[in-house]
Structure 1
Amino acid sequence: MAHQTLSKILFLLLFSISILAVAQIDPAQKPVEKWGLYEVSLPGPSSGNPFTDVQLTAAFSSGSKAIVVTGFYDGNGTYKIRFMPNETGKWSYRTTSNAKSLAGKSGSFLCVAPSANNHGPVKVWNTYHFQYANGKPYYPFGTTAYAWTNQSELVQEQTLATLKKAPFNKIRMCVFPKTYSYVDEEPTIYAYEEKSRTKGPNGMIKHEWDFTRFNPAFFQHLEKRIADLARLNIEADLIIFHPYDKGRWGFDNMGMKNDLAYIKYLVARLSAYPNVWWSMANEFDYIKTKPRDAWDVYSKAVVDADPYHHLCSIHNGSEYYDNWKPYFTHVSIQNGSTVEDFGRAVLLRDAYRKPVVYDEVCYEGNLPQRWGHLSPEEMTEAFWQGVIAGTYVTHGETYRTPGDTIFWAEGGKLHGQSPDRIGFLRSLVEQEPGPLELADPWKDHQTSQADSAHYLIYFGKQMQPEWLFSLPKKGAPAAGSVFKAELIDTWNMTITPIPEIFRLTDVKDYRVYDDKMQKIRLPMRPYLAIRLTQVKP
C-alpha cells in the first residue's frame, strides 16, 4: 500500500512538472514572421579575447532547406546568433563551436506569415529594377545622411522624425564617423575598445584602439537605428568604408586583417535585418590606404559571409570600379552629369546591364563647393532624368543654416524644396503598373513607358507652346488604340486632364500619331510632363 501511494505521489509530481514545463512561455518558442528576426542568446566564455578566440555557427533547417549563419560575441559573456527565416513552418537549429559551452545547443521555432508591412528584403528584378521578396515593386527614392547615427541622440531622433514625414525609402549612411567640411563632431561611442586617448596641440583628441576588440554597445546602437528605419519602411544603404577619416580615428587604415575581421563581425550582426544593403565604400578610389585590388577581397568577404545575399554595391569618386563583377547586385554611381540632360542616364545602364542608382549627383544646398549648391529645380530634374531613363537617383541636402545641422552629413531637419517634388514623382511612378523604361532609347529620350498602355513624356527645362501627339513605334499598341492625356507640372505638383482623346493611326517613320494629328497646347513653363493612359474606345 505504501509502495502504491509513493508511486502515485511520484506520478503526480512528474505530471505537475510536465504541465509547468508546457505552461511556461519560452521566448525562443514565440512565432517569428517570415523575413523577421529570430535571435538565439547563449552564455559563453568571456576570458581571453572572445572576439578572436571563439568561433560560433548555427545550422538552421526546415524540411529540405538548410542555412548556416555565423554568431558573434555581444559582450558580458553573451553570444548571439541571428537568423532571418524565408519560409513559413517549423525551423530547427543546432550550434557548432570550438567553445564547449556553446557547442551542440539546439532549438526550434515556428515561422508564420509576414504582416502587412513586412515585404521582406529588396532584390534585383527584371535586370534593371528592384522588388521586395514578396514580389511588391520597390522603387528607390533615397536620401543621404552619412554620419547621422554618430550624432547626439537629440539629432538622431530629429532625423527619424524628419524621415517619417519625408518621401524617401532609402538612406545612405556610414558605419564609422566622418570628419569633413562643416562636420567635425566627436562621437560619444566608438566601434572599438579604446586603449588610450590624448589631446593634441590643436585640441583634437587622439585615440589608440584595440582593433581586435569591438565595442558591442556601438553596434547595438547601430542596430537600433536600422530597426528604427525598418519601421519607417526605409532601406539602410550601409557604407562599410569611407575616406572621411583623414587619420583622425584611423578606421580607414586598420590593415586588411582587421578590415576583414570587421566585415565578418558587421555582417554576422546585421545580415538578419531585412532592410540592410551593403555599400562597400563611399568614393572607394579616394581611400588611399587601400589598393584597388583589395576591394575584390573585401567584396567577396561580404558576399560570402551574408547567407541572405542582400544587395551589394561599391560607390566611386572619380574612377568607376568593375561594377559588372558578381559581388555587385547593382551599380552605385557618383556623377551629376549623367542626369543633367536627356539620353545620358541610360548609357551606364546599358553598359553594365544591372540596376543603376545615381547615388551622388551633387546636392541641393547653399555651400560654396561645386557639389553643394544645386538649386531645388536642378535636384528635382535630376530625379526625373534618372527615372524616365529606367534608372534611379539619390537626394542629398547641404543647406548651411545657423544653429542647425547639414542634413547630408549629420541628419536633422530638411530645409530644401526638392523633397516634396521628389515625393510627387514617387507617387506618379508607384501609380504605374510597372517600372518605367525609355520606349525608344536610340532616338527618343523623353518618352518613357511602363507598358504599351502607360506612357510618361518629360520635357525638362525646355519650353514649347505645344506637343504633337506621337509615340515610338516600338512597344506601341495597335492602330485604333485610344489614349487620354494629362498635363503634369512637376514643379507645382499639379495634374490637369486634357479634354481631347487621341486615336493611334498607322506607323510612319518609326512613330505612331493621332489620326487627326492633334497637338496638346502647353503653358510656356519648364519642367512639364505628359502622362498618357490607354482607355477603351
Structure 2
Amino acid sequence: MSRSGKFIKAFISMFRSITCLKSFITVKLFIVLVLLLVSSRLTAQQSVEKWGMFEVVLKGSEAGNPYIGTTLSAVFHNGEKTYRTEGFYDGKGIYKIRFMPDLEGVWSYSIESNKSELNNQKGSFTCTASSGKNHGKVRVRNTYHFEYADGTPFYPFGTTIYEWPYQDATTKKQTLESLRKSPFNKARVLAIPPYKERYLNGPLKLTDFPFMGSSKADWDFSRFNPAYFKNLDSCIAHLQDLGIEADLILFRPYDKGKWGFDTMDEETNIRYLKYMIARYGAFRNIWWSLANENSFIKHLTDEDWDRLFQVIVKNDPHEHLRSIHNADRIYDYNKPWITHVSLQYYNAAKAQWGTPLLKDIYRKPVVHDEINYEGNIASRWGRISGEELTFRFWNAYIGGGYATHGESYVESPWISNGGRLTGTSPARINFLRKIVESGPQEGLEAIDHFYETNMAGKQGDFYLVYFGKEKLKEWPFILPKRGVTAGASYRAEIIDTWNMTIKPVKDVFELQPMKGDNYRFIDKNKKSIKLPGRPYMALRIRKVGGAEETSKEMKHELE
C-alpha cells in the first residue's frame, strides 16, 4: 500500500469518530474530495510481471524548468536486491519513475526528490512470473554469445530501420507487419532522426523534435519535448511486443550542420543521456548503442566517448548491453564498459576468418552491425546483391559471430523508412537462423579457426561446413581431431543455402585417426560426400553414435 493510501485510511477512521458534522452525507462527500486530492499525487500498478515495466506517475509542479535542477529517484527493494532508478519529467506537471523488476515477490519503494510534493512517498507492488515471449533482458553468455535473463539462448539476427519511428502511421504499421513475418529479432533505430528535406516539408514534416523548439534558431536544449519521446516510447514498445530487441542509437552525425543535434556540448549530451536512460532503461528489449559512425562526430574524442559511457554505466541500474558503432576510426572495444563489438568493417564479413580474429582480439561477442546493404542505390555501401549479403551473413555465423541486415532499394528504402522487405536475402537469412537454432544451444564456435576457417559448431558433436563461393563436387569426410574419438559415427546433410534445401546423405561415417596426420580424423572407408558443384553450399554434420569419451591425447591446433 502506498503512503497516500495509508493516510487516506487513517483520515477516514478519524472522521468516522467525528459527530459534530451535520450529516453522514456531508462526511462522505468530504472524504471523496480528499480521496481525489491525495490519490492524484501518485498512481502505480499493483502488480507487474517479472522483467515488465513498473511505472510510478506523480503529479507535481510545472513551475520554472522541471528538466533543470529537479532531482527525482526511487529506491526499490525486494529481499537482498536493491536498485536505485532515476525519474524524469514527462510534461504538464507529470513526473515518472520506471523500473524493471527481476525478482518475483513484493517490492517496496521509496521516492526521493528535492521537490516537496514528490518527496518521501512510499509504496509497494507484487512482481508475478513472466509470461509469453517475456524472457527478460538480453545479456552476454559464455564470453562470445548472448542469452535472455531466464537463460534462454538469444542468437541475434539484426536488421536496420534507422528512421522508422519518424514515418507516417501507415508505414509504421506496415513495418511492424513486415518484421512480424521476418527472421529479425534485433533492430537498429535512431533515437534522433537525420537532417533531411522530407522532414522539413511535405507529408513527413516533423512538428516534434527531441528538444523544445522548431529549428536550430530556437532550440531550447534545457527542455526536452515529451511529445517527441512518447512517439519513440510507442515504437520501442511495439518492437518489444514482437520479441525484437531495440538497438537504440543515441547519437548520430547526420545533421550536416543544420539542426545541431550532433554538435551539442558536453553538459547537454550528459543531460540527454540521463533522460534517455531514465525513460527507456526499464524496457527489457533495450540495447544502448552510444553512437552510429561515432568518429564522424568530429568534436568528440575517444576520451569524450569514454565519459559518456560512464554516464550510462552509472545511471542504468538494469545494466543493458552497451556498444558503439564505428566509422573511419574503430573505438577500443576492449574497454570494460563495452559488452559486445558493434562493427562496421565490411571486409571482416567477406572472409570466414574475420570474426574469429576479432573474437581473439576483443574476447567479447562480435556483431557485424553493418556489412553493406542489399540494394540498387548509387552509393557503393548500398548496392550489393542478395547473394552477397547472404554470403557475408554465413561467414559471420560460421566464425561464431552475428550480423545485421539492411536493404536500400530505390523503390523501397528499408534501412531508412522501414515499410516492405523486397530483397532476396531475408528468406535466406531466415533459413540460416533455423539452421543456427538447430545447433548447440551455447552457440556456434569456430572448430579450428587457425586452419579450418569454414567450419563451426561444437567439437565432436555438431559441425557446419560452409563452402561459400567454392564450387566443390566432392568433400572427403575429414574432421579436426579435437573433440572426436575413434569409432564415433556421424550423419551429414547437404545444404543449399541459396535455394534453401536440405538433402540427407545416406551414408553413416565412422571416424578413425588419419594416418600420418596428428590433427585430423577420417572416415574409416575414406568415403566422400558428393556435392553439386554450385556456390553457397554447406554441410550439417551431427554425431549419431560411438565412444563417449574424448581422447586426452590431443595436440593444440598450433602445435
> TM-score normalized by structure 1?
0.91
Q: Name the CA distance, whole Å, in 2 between partners of 1:33 and 1:320.
A: 40
Which position in structure 2 is the counterpart of 1:45? 61
CA distance in 1, matches of 2:387, 2:197: 24
- Cα shift readout 1:182-203 (whole Å, capped 9, x = no counterpart): 9986433211111x65xxxxxx
Q: Tell me, what secondary structure is at the counterpart of 2:508?
A: strand
- Cα distance in structure 1, aligned partners of 2:298 and 2:174: 34
Pair 1:179 & 2:199 matched: no
- The aligned amino acid for 2:175 is T
Shift of 1:438: 0.9
Aligned with 2:83: secondary structure? strand
Report the equivalent of 1:513.
522
The question of whether the paired residues in 1 share the 8 Å contact of 2:46 and 2:124 is answered with no
Deviations 1:472-497 (A, max 9, x none): 11222x11111111000000111100
Q: What is the 5 A alignment of 1:41-440?
A: 41-179=57-195, 186-194=205-213, 197=215, 207-401=217-411, 405-434=412-441, 435-440=443-448
TM-superposed deviation, 1:344: 1.8
Q: Note the alpha carbon deviations across 1:405-459, whole angstroms, 9 max, x for none.
A: 4111121111100000001000111111221111101100011113421111100
Indicate the percent of aligned positions where both proteins have the same amino acid.
47
Deviations 1:245-301, CA, capped at 9 Å, x for gaps: 112211111211111100000100000000000001011001113233210111111
- Report whether the alignment pairs 1:472 with 2:480: yes
Q: Secondary structure of 1:52's match?
A: coil
Give yes or no for the alignment of 1:31 onto 2:39.
no
Distance 1:472 1:425 in 2: 23
The answer as to whether partners of 2:459 and 2:482 remain within 8 angstroms in 1 is no
Distance in 1, matches of 2:260 and 2:490, equals 60
Shift of 1:162: 1.1
Query: Any idea what SS the aligned residue of 1:499 has?
Result: coil
In structure 1, the partner of 2:462 is 454
1:491 maps to 2:490: no
- Work out the CA distance in 1 between the residues paired with 2:261 and 2:45: 40
Is the 1:356–1:392 Cα contact (8 Å) retained in structure 2?
yes
CA distance in 2, matches of 1:426, 1:248: 41
User: 1:439, 1:475 within 8 Å by CA — same for their partners in 2?
Assistant: no
Whole-angstrom distance in 2 between the partners of 1:307 and 1:376: 41
Preserved contact between residue 330 and residue 357 of structure 1 (Cα < 8 Å): yes
Q: For the structure 1 residues 472 and 180, does the alpha-carbon distance in structure 2 shift closer, same or farther, using more than 3 Å as the test? A: farther
> What one-letter code is carried by the residue in structure 2 that aligns with 1:288?
K
- Shift of the alpha carbon at 1:317? 0.5
Number of residue pairs aligned between Structure 1 and Structure 2: 510
Q: Distance in 2 between matches of 1:523 and 1:94?
A: 68
Match of 1:533 among 525, 542, 545: 542
**2:440 and 2:307 mapped to 1: Cα distance?**
40
What is the one-letter code of the residue matched to 1:534? K
How many angstroms apart in 1 are the aligned matches of 2:304 and 2:377?
A: 34
Cα-to-partner distance string for 1:298-319 (whole Å, 9 max, x where unaligned): 1111121100110000110121
TM-score after normalising by structure 2: 0.88
Do 1:34 and 1:113's aligned partners in 2 also have CA atoms closer than 8 Å? yes
Q: Is the 8 A contact 1:151 1:187 kept in 2?
A: no
Q: What secondary structure sits across from 1:525 in the alignment?
A: coil
Kindly indicate whether the alpha-carbon contact (under 8 Å) linking 2:366 and 2:401 is maintained by their aligned counterparts in 1: yes
Measured against aligned partners, the alpha-carbon deviations of 1:70-100 in whole angstroms (never above 9, x if no partner) come to 0110111010000100100100000111000
Residue aligned with 1:382, SS? helix
Shift of 1:343: 1.4
Structure 1 residues 427, 27: closer, same or farther in 2, change over 3 A?
A: farther
Q: What is the alpha-carbon distance in structure 2 between the residues aligned to residue 512 and residue 49 of structure 1?
A: 72
Query: Per the alignment, in what secondary structure is the counterpart of residue 273 of structure 1?
Result: coil
Q: Is the 8 A contact 1:177 1:187 kept in 2?
A: no
Q: Give, in angstroms, the shift of residue 180 of structure 1.
A: 6.2
Contact kept in structure 2, 1:29 and 1:108, CA below 8 Å: no
User: CA separation in 2, counterparts of 1:394 and 1:474?
Assistant: 31
Task: Tell me the distance in 2 between the aligned counterparts of 1:162 and 1:110.
Answer: 36
Where does residue 4 of structure 1 map in the other structure?
none
3-state DSSP of counterpart to 2:503: strand
Give the conservation status (yes or no) of the 8 Å contact 2:44–2:57. no
CA 1:27–1:452: 2 relative to 1, 3 Å: farther
CA distance in 2, matches of 1:333, 1:220: 30
Comparing 521-530 and 27-36, the one that deviates more: 27-36
Give how far 1:156 is off.
1.4
Where 2:174 maps in the other structure, the secondary structure is helix
Residues 208, 291 of structure 1: CA spacing in aligned structure 2 closer, same or farther, 3 A cutoff? farther
1:172, CA displacement in angstroms? 0.6
2:183 alignment partner, SS class: coil
Contact 2:198-2:205 at 8 Å conserved across structures: no
1:429 aligns to what SS in structure 2?
helix
Aligned residue type for 1:228: H
Gaps spanning 5+ residues in structure 1: where?
1-6, 198-205
What is the identity, as a one-letter code, of the residue corresponding to 2:457? Answer: Q
SS in 2 for 1:50: coil
Whichever residue aligns with residue 397 of structure 1, its letter is E
Aligned to 1:481: 488
Relative distance call for 1:488 and 1:181 in structure 2 (3 A) is farther
**1:202 equivalent in structure 2:** none
| SS of residue paired to 1:475 | coil
Backbone CA RMSD of aligned residues: 2.2
CA drift of 1:29 comes to 4.8
Asked whether the 8 Å contact 1:242–1:283 carries over to 2, the reply is yes
Q: Which residue of structure 2 aligns with residue 443 of structure 1? A: 451
